[in-house]
Amino acid sequence: MVEHGRITEPSISETGIDMSEVEHIGRRLLAMIDTEHAAITLAGDGVFLIDRQGMTLYIPTFPIVQANDVGAGDSFAAAMALALVAGGNIEESARIAVDAASIAITKRWTSVVSYQELLQKVSLRDHASLSPVTGACSPKSITRLTEQLGEERLRGKTIVFTNGVFDILHAGHVQFLRKAKELGDVLVVGVNSDHSTQRLKGKRRPINNERDRVSLVAALDPVDHVVLFNEDTPSELIRALRPDIHVKGGDYTDEFLPEAETVHEIGSRVVILPLAGSISTTSVIDRIISLVADEKMEVKQ
């Protein structure tokens, strides 16, 4: 069983890996070499740490939508060595190394992971541990959030809910969330998981993984709670959280909003807010692609 990262008893984890077998390999490795700790990397499933006192720790990774198969191991080893030399403990050094590897595999061929990239990744992870983020699509965490919202409601607070992919945050997102918060007292934002985003937007999306998207949304001042959901529409989440107001942006109407029936079913109302300006994530991505194409043309010339 994996609990808070610590392996409390041999089991097959949610990734399908037999952790008891991994632990056995780790113990054999420690018996063969003169070292206090062993780190066993598990490809896209993270890293397993074990020491001579028998303490074990499983550090998971987060999904990378377009991962390359070059550079992860080298980046992990280099980053972990540097973190240890800099005075980090074994756990934090391993987490930094996982962050470095996850950056490396988003690039083509053998690439350098810059200090700024790694600092941003670590900062997002640290913020995620402190921010009001509900666990990834976990029924237990949804129940906990529902209880929190129930307490807020007893205090006379109005609960506002909205949802989206929030792939590349831009000014339009910020303005929309500010206006949504003005409609009530507590703003809850549902964020589509990576799998849900791929189904809705195609295999090339999202650009940023769910952990980073959730962390960035949670860092915005108007947002009180952030929750991941894996469905194509937030209907089930709305049914569980029972917000007073459901907010959408754009030119939706009740007739064409998939979750409108659920909103009315629980006695809530839909508010449609016009999107500010012409900024959209798609337009931002198209602009980046255009700039890259122009740059390549200049190089060829």
d(CA 93, CA 38): 13
d(CA 223, CA 178): 8
Q: Which residues are part of the catalytic machinery?
A: 74
Q: Specify whether the CB–CB gap between 238 and 259 falls below 8 A.
A: yes
Q: Let me know the angle formed at the C-alpha of 270 by 266 and 272, rounded to the nearest 5 degrees.
A: 165
Over its C-alpha atoms, the chain yields an Rg (Å, rounded) of 22
153 exposed, middle or buried (CB, 10 Å; 0-12, 13-18, 19+)? middle
- String of DSSP letters for 37-102: EEEEE-GGG-EEEEETT--EEEE-----TT--SSSHHHHHHHHHHHHHHTT--HHHHHHHHHHHHH
d(CA 279, CA 170): 8
Helix axes 115-130, 210-218, angle to 10 degrees: 70
Q: What tokens appear for 132 in the block?
A: 């009001």
- DSSP letter at 13? -
3-state secondary structure of 164: strand
Q: Specify whether the CB–CB gap between 187 and 160 falls below 8 A.
A: yes
Q: What tokens appear for 290 in the block?
A: 């255009």
